């Protein structure tokens, strides 16, 4: 997966509820080969280790909102679009879908141009 860079969510839903566009516009996901950082309005909200396989990625929170949590996810990468379904319950999602009380967070990101 060629994922390093800064990504902005363009669409997201948690447990079947769509996230407000205004909140997404202020959020960024910064990925390196081994780390992730989530910034909201320029402030670090969450960061930790990242492990990527051919079909999954795993976030291991080390600071912020998900400190101490391990969050597995499935992903699809197509050009400058990255679609991720996070298993907030610690289970790898079986599909790119959320529903009421599913503990799934589905996000489509767009890679921001490098400066």
CATH number, domain at 44? 2.40.128.490
* Residue 56 maps to a domain: yes
In tens, the pLDDT along 61-88 reads 999 989 999 999 999 999 999 999 999 9
* Residue 115 maps to a domain: no
22 backbone dihedrals φ, ψ, rounded to 5°: -60, -40
| 44: nearest Cα among 25, 59, 60, 30 | 30
Count of H helices and E strands in the chain?
Answer: 1, 9
* Residue 37 maps to a domain: yes
* Residue 42 maps to a domain: yes
- Read off the pTM: 0.93
* Residue 44 maps to a domain: yes
Domain that holds residue 30: 5-110
Half-sphere CA count of 55, side-chain side, radius 13 A? 5
* Residue 21 maps to a domain: yes
Question: Above 90 in pLDDT, residue 108?
Answer: yes
* Residue 27 maps to a domain: yes
Count up the domains in the chain and report the number.
Answer: 1
């Amino acid at each position: 997966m060629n994922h390093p860079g800064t990504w902005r969510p363009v669409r997201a839903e948690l447990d079947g509820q769509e996230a407000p566009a205004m909140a997404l516009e202020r959020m960024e996901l910064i990925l390196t080969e081994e780390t992730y950082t989530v910034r909201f309005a320029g402030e670090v909200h969450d960061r930790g280790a990242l492990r990527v396989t051919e079909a999954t990625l795993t976030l291991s929170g080390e600071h912020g909102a998900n400190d101490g949590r391990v969050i597995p996810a499935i992903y699809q990468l197509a050009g400058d679009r990255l679609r991720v379904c996070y298993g907030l319950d610690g289970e790898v999602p079986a599909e790119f879908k959320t529903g009421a009380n599913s503990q799934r967070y589905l996000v489509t990101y767009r890679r921001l141009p490098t400066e």
